[in-house]
Amino acid sequence: MAKAWGGRFHQVTDPRVEAFTESISFDRRLYAVDIRGSMAHATMLAHCGLITAEERDQICAHLDQIGEEIAAGSFEFRQDLEDIHMHIENALITRIGDVGRKLHTGRSRNDQVSTDLKLYTRDAIDDLDGLLLELQRAFLERCELDAGVIMPGYTHLQRAQPVLAAHYWLAYVEKFQRDRERLADCRKRVNVSPLGAAALAGTSLPIDRELTARLLGFDAVAANSLDVSSDRDYLVEFVFCLSLISTHLSTWAEEWILWFTTEFSFLRLPDAYTTGSSIMPQKRNPDVLELIRGRTARVVAAVPQLLVLLKSLPMAYNRDLQEDKLGMFGALDALRPCLELAPAIIVGAELRREKIEARLEDGFLDATALMEYLIRKGVPMRTGHETVGRLVAHCEARGCRLADVPMAELREACSLISEDVLQVLGTVNANRALQSFGSGGERSVSGQVLAWKERLRGS
């Protein structure tokens, strides 16, 4: 059994306390950023004359060696050393004695762990941005694969208006672009250096916080040492960004799960991303999509987990904050594999065009186009809405489409209707009539596809 850190204590720590307070079981993944931060700190200490250049080189060389051992799996982790920071510092002191004891000069574990978390989060943001870019490119590739395919668009899961399939895919490109922008904005607040704020009040030693910030690639230095100790805003914001990414993935997964059913029959999924049944030999289940949808629960749950953790904490560091990593790591670990799998599913799937086309005229997808035709003829919008509604009810009673209604009956419904109404009746014509910017018609969609190709080419 070990004594608590430092010379203040006279009793060994109860082993149950060691087990209760340890975080090495989950924070060991911070080892690389902890070593990176410590090397920058040692470089700054030498620059400020608090250690010699030779001591700096000795510290950095052994830190590098410790990092290699951890990466190789040959480093021994011990519960009594509690966290990754103490493990690395203890190993350094064991190897180079008092020189290693100088490394912690001018810093605390409070600013050290915040620095580690910010470096780790920054790396994660950059990694996720790359994965989201690949996801966008997969949806953009689908736009070419499904060029010209018209699909029913839905509201309330009821057929509404016809849109090009590429319009669906571009909707997800837009969603994931907003996710990328949120991460980029979050990165601005992540990329502020806490290092050198020490425990809560700063230090009387002549350190150079701007130097460590530059060495670690931070854009700025945190201006209030008291705030640094308790600041976990960036983690809450980061996890919220993850929750929205996961929610967008879940929306896509849910839609494709529906489309894969016999009832919809819009989609074929690759065999590599479906599973069979233990008892029903005919089954192909969209388990990967269901798990992507299901993992959203874990990611979203991390947001209130962190908020509740921070609620009612007094200023500066409190040990409660050790729990922050569990929420963030859990959300990141749940989301990342989903982003890795999604592009392959998207590109490998196939729209069942024959099934889609066979029912494309179902659901009066041209009703809105007919109403807008009447508006262009001078009919007030609400009057046009009522007129087309009555025509739809008439068609439902007769079991026919709007395009099947004789011209005489159309004119009886509204005397302003003429032969040019045929240009908007039928799903293909109704889709072709769409012309506003951002709409699901050919002109708008083709322009957006070209614009996104150019935009993502520069990403």
Answer yes or no: is 42 within a domain. Answer: yes
Residue 6 pLDDT > 90: no
Domain of 348, in residue numbers: 110-358
User: Angle at which helices 31-47 and 53-72 pack, to 10 degrees?
Assistant: 180
**Overall average pLDDT of the 30-37 stretch:** 98
Answer yes or no: is 456 within a domain. Answer: no
Confidence of residue 5 (pLDDT cuts 50, 70, 90): low
pLDDT (0 to 100) of residue 69: 98
- Dump pLDDT digits (tens) for 73-103: 999 999 999 999 999 999 999 999 999 999 9
Q: Domain of 84: which CATH number? A: 1.10.275.10
CB 320 within 8 A of CB 313: yes
Write down the residue that tokens 């941005």 correspond to: 129
Distance separating alpha carbons of residues 218 and 255, to the nearest angstrom: 41
Number of domains in the chain: 3
Which one of 358, 383, 406 terminates a domain? 358
Where do the DSSP E strands lie in 252-405?
267-268, 350-351
Residue 134 pLDDT > 90: yes
Answer yes or no: is 117 within a domain. Answer: yes
Answer yes or no: is 7 within a domain. Answer: no
- For residues 131 and 157, membership in a common domain is answered with yes
Question: Average model confidence (pLDDT) for the chain?
Answer: 95
CA distances in angstroms from 149 to 158, 270, 290, 442, 445, listed in the order given? 19, 20, 26, 10, 12
Confidence of residue 282 (pLDDT cuts 50, 70, 90): confident
Which one of 332, 358, 384 terminates a domain? 358
- For residues 163 and 45, membership in a common domain is answered with no
CB 159 within 8 A of CB 362: yes
- For residues 165 and 299, membership in a common domain is answered with yes
- For residues 78 and 31, membership in a common domain is answered with yes
Distance separating alpha carbons of residues 61 and 63, to the nearest angstrom: 6
- For residues 323 and 416, membership in a common domain is answered with no
Distance separating alpha carbons of residues 32 and 153, to the nearest angstrom: 48
Answer yes or no: is 1 within a domain. Answer: no
**Cβ density class 88-118: b for 16+ within 10 Å, e for less:** bbbbbbebbeebbebbbbbbbbbbbbbbbbb
Residue 384: CB atoms within 10 A of its CB come to 22
pLDDT (0 to 100) of residue 3: 46
- For residues 164 and 54, membership in a common domain is answered with no
Answer yes or no: is 281 within a domain. Answer: yes
**Overall average pLDDT of the 377-388 stretch:** 97
- For residues 223 and 83, membership in a common domain is answered with no
Confidence of residue 7 (pLDDT cuts 50, 70, 90): low
- For residues 354 and 375, membership in a common domain is answered with no
Q: Domain of 435: which CATH number? A: 1.10.40.30
- Dump pLDDT digits (tens) for 99-115: 999 999 999 999 999 99
Supply the residues annotated as catalytic. 156, 277
- For residues 159 and 234, membership in a common domain is answered with yes
- For residues 144 and 224, membership in a common domain is answered with yes
Residue 360 burial class via C-beta count within 10 angstroms: exposed 0-12, middle 13-18, buried 19 and up: buried
State residue 231 phi and psi, 5-degree precision: -70, 115
- For residues 61 and 33, membership in a common domain is answered with yes
- For residues 124 and 217, membership in a common domain is answered with yes
- Dump pLDDT digits (tens) for 185-197: 999 999 999 999 9
CA distances in angstroms from 109 to 44, 165, 198, listed in the order given? 17, 53, 8
**Overall average pLDDT of the 113-126 stretch:** 98
Distance separating alpha carbons of residues 282 and 276, to the nearest angstrom: 8
CB 410 within 8 A of CB 421: yes
CA dihedral of residues 324, 329, 330, 331 (deg, nearest 10): 100
Answer yes or no: is 164 within a domain. Answer: yes
Which one of 333, 358, 383 terminates a domain? 358
Cα torsion angle, 432, 434, 440, 445, sign: positive
pLDDT (0 to 100) of residue 93: 97
- Dump pLDDT digits (tens) for 445-456: 999 999 999 999
Answer yes or no: is 5 within a domain. Answer: no
Q: Domain of 283: which CATH number? A: 1.20.200.10
Q: How far is CA 1 from the centre of its chain?
A: 43
Residue 2 pLDDT > 50: no
